[in-house]
Amino acid sequence: MRLIDSFKKAFSKPYKTISVAQAKELLGSGATLIDVRSAQEWRSGRAPQAKHIPLDRLQTSTAGIQKTRPVIAVCASGVRSASAARLLATQGYQAYSLRGGMSAWRQAGEPVR
């Protein structure tokens, strides 16, 4: 049984993947939204409350992200945000990845600027 538990722990996600509705709820409670897309993608439209921290920069520094608040990572489709959330979770953050990324955000009718 211990071996199975070890495998589960080794392969489990240290973060949660959440929907747009769940993200909105967390944001309403003070969570931080970070957009890990490239500068060009960021300029094409972003969630108004998002902070821009490209994934490559996040991999070298988490400066400016408070550990006392949950952190939601968003990208275009959810792949890079999953990497960002995994990275943040391993550094002690309560981390989430937005399922579907900005595509899901737009599809849900959430504001984009």
Distance CA 101, CA 79 (A): 8
> Which of the residues 71, 73, 75, 95 is marked catalytic?
75
Nearest to 72 by CA among 14, 16, 5: 16
DSSP state of 95: E
Q: Examine the residue annotation and report whether 24 is marked as an active-site residue of this protein.
A: no
Nearest CA to 101 out of 70, 87, 80 is that of: 80
Active site (catalytic) residues: 75
